[in-house]
Amino acid sequence: MRFVLDNSVVCGWLLQNQATAYCDAIAQRLQSAQAIAPPLLALEYTNVLRTACKRQTILAFHAQQMLSMLAQLPIEIDTSVPQPAQLLDLALRYDLTSYDAIYLDLALRHRLPIATQDRDLAHAAQVAGVGVVAD
Q: pLDDT 10s per residue in the chain (135 long)?
A: 899 999 999 999 999 999 999 999 999 999 999 999 999 999 999 999 999 999 999 999 999 999 999 999 999 999 998 999 999 999 999 999 999 999 999 999 999 999 999 999 999 999 999 999 997
Number of domains in the chain: 1
- Residue pair 12/117 in contact (Cβ under 8 Å)? The answer is yes
| 51 Cβ contact list (under 8 Å, min separation 6) | none
CATH number at residue 42: 3.40.50.1010
Beta partners for residue 75, in sequence order: 35
CA distance 106 to 62: 30
pTM, to two decimals: 0.93
Q: Is 43 inside any structural domain?
A: yes
Q: Is 121 inside any structural domain?
A: yes
Rg (CA), the chain: 15
Q: Is 72 inside any structural domain?
A: yes
Q: Is 133 inside any structural domain?
A: no
| 43 Cβ contact list (under 8 Å, min separation 6) | none
Q: Is 13 inside any structural domain?
A: yes
Total count of residues recorded for the chain: 135
Q: Is 135 inside any structural domain?
A: no
